[in-house]
Amino acid sequence: MLMGATIASGNRQPASVAVATDVVSMSKGSNSMNYRTFTLERLDTPTGPILIVTDEERVLRAVDWEDHEPRMQRLLQRHYGNGAIRLNETARPSAARGALRAYFDGHIEALRALPTATQGTDFQRTVWSALRDIPIGETVSYGGLAAKIGRPTAARAVGLANGANPIAIVVPCHRVIGADASLTGFGGGVERKHWLLAHEGKLRDVALASHA
């Protein structure tokens, strides 16, 4: 279980920057010089408030819903190490936030060229790269995605990698569906998966699953 968040000490931040929070907590005895500082932003959307994490170069590292913040923390901890990331909340908008706002405003193509960076295993990164190749308005099954990456018997492993994707929406794991075209489990909830696919114009062949 993730350690509780703490408030970092230090000088008062400028008005546009909130107090730094160790969302991915530093472990006791860790060297304070060993962590990286990422930026945390919030954006209200029709699916609920989302959290946007970018690195020092403003490259996107994580996107998740505010009500799933503990999961985002766990994924950051898993991918970067315990105590390796500190988040500074800011009101200064990044290009990633602007692109996500445009997406929710109906400019679906706005996310296509958005730069992202992830940790994870080679297999996970292969799956996440393949997710970005799924065209807007289309879906693929877990087995179909496994075949696309040259691992046709690895549908279950593809599903696990899908669930470990730290960058929701932009790395579109919501476009992966069950072999029977049902909306199977999605970290943000099946209702949100339904909304995203409807927003992108793909629901005619997809049935809303009765449970996640």
Q: Is 55 in contact with 117 (CB distance < 8 Å)?
A: yes
Q: Is 54 in contact with 96 (CB distance < 8 Å)?
A: yes
Backbone phi and psi for residue 28, each to the nearest 5 degrees, phi listed first: -60, 135
Task: Give the whole-angstrom CA distance, residue 171 versus residue 151.
Answer: 20
Task: Give the whole-angstrom CA distance, residue 84 versus residue 176.
Answer: 31
Q: Is 179 in contact with 141 (CB distance < 8 Å)?
A: yes
Task: Give the whole-angstrom CA distance, residue 107 versus residue 20.
Answer: 32
Question: In the annotation, is 173 catalytic?
Answer: yes
Task: Give the whole-angstrom CA distance, residue 142 versus residue 124.
Answer: 14
Going by the DSSP 8-state scheme, the letter that residue 20 receives in this structure is P
User: Which one of 170, 173, 190, 196 is the catalytic residue?
Assistant: 173
Residue positions annotated with a catalytic role: 173
